[in-house]
C-alpha cells in the first residue's frame, strides 16, 4: 500500500533544519489515492467521491500542503502575477499609486511584483524583462521611458500605462487630464488678478510635464496675458544636490515681479515652498502658490496649499481594474481613461496687488 515514489528517498536525508516540501504526491499518499484524484479533490474539478475529497483535504491540512505556483504556472497558462514598475517609491505619489494597485490586484487574487527604477531607463528595461521571465499576466507602468513598454508589448504582455503615454500602440492608458488641471490652476491665479505667474516643471518630455506646461500657456492665452519664456523653469536633469534648489531660487530672484508660482508636481512644489521660505517671502501675501498634486504636507503647513488634487489611489486601482479586464476577458482594443483632477482652493493663493 505504501508505494514509494522515485523521489521519496530524499526525505531520508539529514534533517537539516527544515523538512522537505510537501508535494501533491505526498498528500495523495497520505490520503491513499493517486495524484490525479488528489488534484481533483483539492481543485474541485471533475468527479471525486465525497469521503475521498474530505480525506484528501484533511491530509493536505495535516501535512501543511501548499501548491507550487511554479509548477502550476509552467503547466497552465496563468502565473497570477502582475508587474508594477514605478520610478520612485519614496515619492508619495507613487506610493499611493502602488497602494491602489496592490489593493485591487490582491483582491482579485493576483500577486504584485514591484520594481522601482529610480528614474533610470535601463533599470526599467531590466524590470520589464524580469516580468517577462516571470510570465507576468500583465504589467502596470508608471512613468518610465519607452523601452520598457516596447519590450513588453512586443512580447504580447498586456500593459497599462499610468500617468503617462509613451505612445506605444496597443497598451491601455490611465492618466490625469494634466492640461485641464494646469489650466484650472493658472486660471484661478489669473482670476485673483495675478499677471506675472511663474511655472516650475520637472520635465517636458513626457505627457505629464508637457501637458501641464501647455495648460499654463492655454490659461495665459485665454486671459490674453503674454507668455514669457523666462518665467518658465524646467528642472529636467538637475539631479545634483542643490542644483534644483538653486535653479528655483534663481528663478525667483531674477523675476521679482512674479506674484504667483505654479508648481507642476509635488516634488517641485516642495522646492518652491522651501525657496520662498528661505527668502523670507510670505505666502500668499508676497507670492501665491498653486501645486499640481496634493499631498500630506500641503495640508499640514500654514497656509495650506491650494492644489490640483489628483485621485492617485483611485488611479492605481482603476489601472489595475483595466488590466484585469484585459487579462481575464481578453479585451483586444486598447482603452484610454482620463481622470479629471479637481482644484482645491486653500490658503496659499490670494488676490494680487496686496504687495505695494
Summarize as ranges the residues that interact with DNA (CB under 7 A).
6-7, 10, 21, 23-25, 33-37, 39-40, 42-43, 45-49, 52, 65, 67-68, 71-72, 74-76
Strands (E) located in the chain: 81-86, 111-116, 138-141, 159-162, 172-176, 197-201, 232-234, 260-263, 288-292, 306-309, 336-339, 342-344
**The only residue of 35, 63, 103, 193 in contact with a copy of itself, by rule CB under 8 A:** 103
Cβ distance to a copy of itself smaller for residue 25 or 210: 25
N- to C-terminal Cα separation, the chain:
98
The stretch near a copy of itself (CB under 8 A) out of 51-59, 107-115, 142-150, 208-216 is 107-115
37 binds, among DNA, a copy of itself, none (CB under 5 to 8 A by kind): DNA
Give the residue from 271, 145, 140 showing the smallest Cα distance to 206: 145
Three cell numbers, residue 317: 486601482
Q: How far is the CB of 319 from a copy of itself (least distance, A)?
A: 15
Distance between CA atoms of 301 and 288, rounded to whole angstroms?
Answer: 14
- Give, to the nearest 10 degrees, the angle between helix 35-43 and helix 24-31: 100
278-308 in b/e form (b: 16+ CB < 10 A) is eeeeebbeebbbbbbbbbeebeeeebbbbbb
Strands 172-176 and 81-86: unpaired
**The only residue of 62, 120, 155, 230 in contact with a copy of itself, by rule CB under 8 A:** 155
Cβ distance to DNA smaller for residue 75 or 333: 75
164 binds, among a copy of itself, DNA, none (CB under 5 to 8 A by kind): none
* Distance, CA of 176 to chain centre: 13
17 is an interface residue for a copy of itself by CB under 8 A: yes
Distance between CA atoms of 265 and 200, rounded to whole angstroms?
Answer: 9
Three cell numbers, residue 239: 539631479
49 binds, among a copy of itself, DNA, none (CB under 5 to 8 A by kind): DNA
The stretch near a copy of itself (CB under 8 A) out of 41-49, 61-69, 284-292, 340-348 is 61-69
The residues that touch a copy of itself, with contacts defined as CB under 8 A, are 17-19, 21, 64, 66-71, 73-74, 79, 81, 84, 88-90, 92, 95-96, 98-99, 102-103, 106, 111-116, 118, 123, 127, 129-130, 132-135, 154-156, 270, 273-274, 277, 295-297, 300-302, 313, 332
Amino acid at each position: 500500500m505504501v508505494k514509494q515514489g522515485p523521489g521519496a528517498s530524499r526525505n531520508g536525508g539529514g534533517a537539516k533544519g527544515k523538512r522537505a516540501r510537501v508535494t501533491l504526491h505526498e498528500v495523495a499518499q497520505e490520503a491513499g489515492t493517486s495524484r490525479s484524484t488528489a488534484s481533483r479533490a483539492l481543485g474541485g474539478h471533475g468527479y471525486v467521491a465525497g469521503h475521498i475529497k474530505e480525506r484528501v483535504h484533511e491530509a493536505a491540512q495535516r501535512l501543511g500542503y501548499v501548491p507550487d505556483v511554479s509548477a502550476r504556472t509552467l503547466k497552465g497558462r496563468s502565473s497570477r502575477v502582475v508587474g508594477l514598475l514605478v520610478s520612485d517609491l519614496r515619492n508619495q505619489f507613487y506610493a499611493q499609486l502602488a497602494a491602489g494597485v496592490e489593493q485591487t490586484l490582491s483582491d482579485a487574487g493576483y500577486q504584485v511584483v514591484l520594481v522601482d527604477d529610480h528614474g533610470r531607463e535601463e533599470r526599467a528595461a531590466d524590470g520589464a524583462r524580469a516580468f517577462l521571465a516571470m510570465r507576468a499576466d500583465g504589467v502596470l507602468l508608471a512613468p518610465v521611458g519607452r523601452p520598457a513598454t516596447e519590450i513588453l508589448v512586443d512580447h504580447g504582455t498586456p500593459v497599462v500605462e499610468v500617468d503617462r503615454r509613451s505612445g506605444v500602440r496597443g497598451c491601455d492608458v490611465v492618466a490625469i487630464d494634466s492640461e485641464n488641471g494646469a489650466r484650472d490652476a493658472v486660471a484661478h491665479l489669473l482670476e485673483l488678478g495675478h499677471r506675472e505667474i511663474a511655472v516650475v516643471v520637472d520635465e517636458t518630455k513626457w505627457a505629464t510635464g508637457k501637458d501641464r506646461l501647455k495648460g499654463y500657456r492655454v490659461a495665459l492665452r485665454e486671459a490674453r496675458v503674454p507668455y514669457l519664456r523666462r518665467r518658465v523653469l524646467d528642472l529636467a536633469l538637475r539631479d545634483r544636490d542643490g542644483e534644483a534648489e538653486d535653479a528655483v531660487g534663481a528663478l525667483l530672484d531674477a523675476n521679482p515681479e512674479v506674484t504667483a508660482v505654479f508648481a507642476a508636481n509635488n516634488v517641485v512644489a516642495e522646492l518652491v515652498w522651501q525657496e520662498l521660505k528661505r527668502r523670507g517671502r510670505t505666502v500668499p501675501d508676497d507670492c501665491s502658490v498653486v501645486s499640481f498634486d496634493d499631498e500630506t504636507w500641503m495640508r499640514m503647513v500654514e497656509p495650506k496649499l491650494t492644489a490640483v488634487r489628483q485621485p492617485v489611489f483611485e488611479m492605481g486601482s482603476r489601472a489595475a481594474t483595466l488590466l484585469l479586464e484585459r487579462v481575464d476577458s481578453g479585451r483586444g482594443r486598447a482603452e484610454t481613461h482620463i481622470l479629471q483632477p479637481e482644484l482645491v482652493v486653500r490658503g496659499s493663493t490670494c488676490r494680487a496687488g496686496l504687495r505695494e
